[in-house]
Amino acid sequence: MPTMRNRSIADQFIEVLRQAGVERIYGLVGDSLNPIVDVVRRTEGIDWVHVRNEEAAAFAAGAEAQLTGRLAVCAGSCGPGNTHLVQGLYDAHRSGAPVLALASHIPSAQVGTGFFQETHPERLFLECSHYCELLSHAEQMPRMLRIAIQHALGRGGVSVVVMPGDVASHSAPKPTGRSALGGPRPTVVPAAEQVDALAGALDSAERVTLFCGAGVRGAHAEVMELAGRLQAPVGHALGGKEWIQFDNPYDVGMSGLLGYGACHEAVHEADLLVLLGTDFPYDDFLPHGRVVQVDIDQTKLGRRVPIEVGVTGDVATTIRALLPELAQRGDRSFLDRMLRRHCEILEGVVAAYTDDVADQVPIHPEYVAARLDEVAADDAIFTVDTGMNNVWAARYLTPNGRRRVIGSWRHGTMANALPQAVGAQAALPDRQVISMSGDGGLAMLLGELLTVRHHGLPVKIVLFNNASLGMVKLEMLVAGLPDFETDHSPVDYSAIARAAGIDSIRVEEPAGVREGLERALATDGPALVEVVTDPNALSMPPAVTAEQIKGFALATSKIVLDGGVGRMIELARSNLRNIPRPAGTRR
Ligand SMILES: Cc1ncc(C[n+]2csc(CCOP(=O)(O)OP(=O)(O)O)c2C)c(N)n1
């Protein structure tokens, strides 16, 4: 270890990160970053995860932060190394993931001269960070780095420290010392008058529906109690699924473009909709009647539709404060109608799905997703590519409170799944990590196969290879456009992965799907299962406008307008069995 006297800013930087519990930095070494990388080389307890594109570094850090709740770090060298970070940082920031990005910079004496590789990182990252500052003077350390860390952890999102390579090599004029971080995020207790107002609104409504987003994390018991008290159906946005769609006798599925089941109806037929911890952006899917909202962040209140009451508070605490003010309702007619409707919808599509697809070639992607759900571990972590995989994950992955499912839900960028799997597996080496990749997504950051192999990360990649940008094909069809430039010539990705040193299987017949997945999941190291899937297996949103149908019909008459909903049907059926039956009546 260097003595106190010759400690550099780079040494100090890494020491502060270690104090904050950081165990790895995702990035690509080079020029201005080298002083930092050299300290990582010499320091116990912190590793360098060598990615092939800095975009992947930011995705990986974002995944680690989302899954662990702790600070995760990525780094890019000056200029192009920085600009590559942008996509992943947008994703991390919009997901509220506490990520620190070290944006290395050109020599400080050259700033403003149009120097080789010059960008202005402190402008570049402004929109995808809570904090983005230039560390141009050694005296700013270690304070500036600690401020950046506090912003990432405290506000939930990205902080960027921009540091010219020469500053990293300076000796540190100040001792590093120690400074405490803020600890876990605080509970936000709602104001009593807001809770009263919410109780008043609920009392005055006959039919209430709860609609849940990612903010219901940790509030499962409370939401169930509230739903039981109000006899209210519970729907969710994609972000809420993993926290609420299990052990849920009130489940009516999901709303939105990828939605299914009776959620849309329950949301629209309620005379009061309760938004719980959701910033669901598709206001077209929200009713314009009476809405109340609970969110930990006041800036989210009323930003999608006008609300009658807004409560700033965390969901569990708010519901606990609310329950004593609510009487138990006896009338379950609305709830039961919605549960029946939900089951009916699922029964309809499941029949279509199970009858056809077990023998269908090319393989129906929903068949793959359903098998994957069956064979994956109870505490598997799924990372899901943007594209049709969003639909398959939303409809087929059965949450249980232990599994995790992350994707680019808010930024909606392609190619997220594999690098997110890298971060998930690096941070949680004992968990089964499954990347649900599209062929477009995989191709976009294909080099990350090499990262997986290089670090021996036992990530399992399930590739839905439909030789098409399937989601865009669907968009074009819905808009009444013939699909154009969406299809690619076929590629054998299993051969590419094999050449990279990854165990690979290519599956072309439905009969091989389950076995292929099981074999891959049983592999010790990384494995890829490439399933050749049907590019025309499309999925329709639950509420389709006449315009959209017209477009769809214009474009093609052969598209299947269904969406099988695998094991969600089991929950729907068992919830139906819970409906109390007056003697002598049939369900
Ligand atoms: C970086 C980026 N470019 C373009 C898009 C628009 N887009 C959304 S989904 C998609 C197609 C994804 O194709 P693929 O990964 O093959 O998955 P599929 O939908 O076929 O399952 C595209 C082009 C995007 N979301 N992100």
| pLDDT per position as a tens digit, 530-545 | 999 988 776 555 555 5
How far is C-alpha 586 from the geometric centre of its chain's CA atoms?
42
Q: Which of 568, 169, 150 is nearest to 398 (CA)?
A: 568
Does the pLDDT value for residue 360 go beyond 90?
Answer: no
Give residue 555's pLDDT band: very low, low, confident or very high (50, 70, 90): very low
Please state, rounded to an integer, the average pLDDT across all residues of the chain.
Answer: 91
| pTM, full prediction | 0.93
**CB of 468 closer than 6 A to ligand 1?**
yes
Strands (E), 112-257: 131-134, 158-164, 208-212, 234-236, 251-254
Query: What SS3 state is found at 406?
Result: strand
From the CA of 471, give the closest atom in ligand 1.
19
The 8-class DSSP code of residue 432 comes to -
pLDDT at residue 4, rounded to an integer = 47
pLDDT at residue 545, rounded to an integer = 58
pLDDT at residue 200, rounded to an integer = 98
Choice from 386, 392, 478 to test ligand 1 binding pocket (greatest atom count within 8 A of CB): 386
**Which residue lies with its CA nearest to atom 17 of ligand 1?**
438
pLDDT at residue 546, rounded to an integer = 56
pLDDT at residue 536, rounded to an integer = 78
**Which residue lies with its CA nearest to atom 21 of ligand 1?**
388
**Which residue lies with its CA nearest to atom 9 of ligand 1?**
387
Distance set, CA 98 to CA 26, 152, 201, 497 (Å): 14, 5, 36, 32
**CB of 470 closer than 6 A to ligand 1?**
yes
**CB of 464 closer than 6 A to ligand 1?**
yes
Q: Which amino acid is at 299?
A: T
Give residue 568's pLDDT band: very low, low, confident or very high (50, 70, 90): low
**CB of 413 closer than 6 A to ligand 1?**
yes
Ligand 1 center to 296 CA (angstroms): 32
Ligand 1 center to 485 CA (angstroms): 12
Q: Please state, in angstroms and rounded to a whole number, the distance separating the CA atoms of residues 144 and 147.
A: 5
Give residue 561's pLDDT band: very low, low, confident or very high (50, 70, 90): very low
Evaluate whether 436 touches 384 at the Cβ level (below 8 Å).
yes
Q: Please state, in angstroms and rounded to a whole number, the distance separating the CA atoms of residues 372 and 245.
A: 18
Does the pLDDT value for residue 553 go beyond 50?
Answer: no
Q: Please state, in angstroms and rounded to a whole number, the distance separating the CA atoms of residues 571 and 347.
A: 12
Ligand 1 center to 324 CA (angstroms): 47
pLDDT at residue 489, rounded to an integer = 93
Convert the pLDDT of each residue in 295-328 to its tens digit.
Answer: 999 999 999 999 999 999 999 999 999 999 999 9
Convert the pLDDT of each residue in 119-148 to its tens digit.
Answer: 999 999 999 999 999 999 999 999 999 999
From the CA of 389, give the closest atom in ligand 1.
21
Q: Please state, in angstroms and rounded to a whole number, the distance separating the CA atoms of residues 25 and 273.
A: 43
From the CA of 443, give the closest atom in ligand 1.
15
Number of H helices, E strands in the chain: 23, 18
pLDDT at residue 353, rounded to an integer = 56
Q: What percent of the chain has pLDDT over 90?
A: 79
Distance set, CA 168 to CA 32, 37, 133, 188 (Å): 8, 10, 15, 39
pLDDT at residue 587, rounded to an integer = 42
pLDDT at residue 558, rounded to an integer = 32
Give residue 345's pLDDT band: very low, low, confident or very high (50, 70, 90): confident
From the CA of 413, give the closest atom in ligand 1.
26
Q: Please state, in angstroms and rounded to a whole number, the distance separating the CA atoms of residues 409 and 387.
A: 11
pLDDT at residue 560, rounded to an integer = 33
Q: What is the DSSP string of 7-39?
A: -BHHHHHHHHHHHTT--EEEE---GGGHHHHHH
Give residue 481's pLDDT band: very low, low, confident or very high (50, 70, 90): confident
Query: What SS3 state is found at 220?
Result: helix
Q: What is the DSSP string of 288-347?
A: SS-EEEEESSGGGTTSSS--SEEEES-HHHHHHHHGGG-PPP---HHHHHHHHHHHHHHH
Does the pLDDT value for residue 556 go beyond 80?
Answer: no
The 8-class DSSP code of residue 133 comes to E
Evaluate whether 17 touches 36 at the Cβ level (below 8 Å).
no
The 8-class DSSP code of residue 583 comes to T
Does the pLDDT value for residue 562 go beyond 80?
Answer: no
pLDDT higher at 573 or 302 = 302
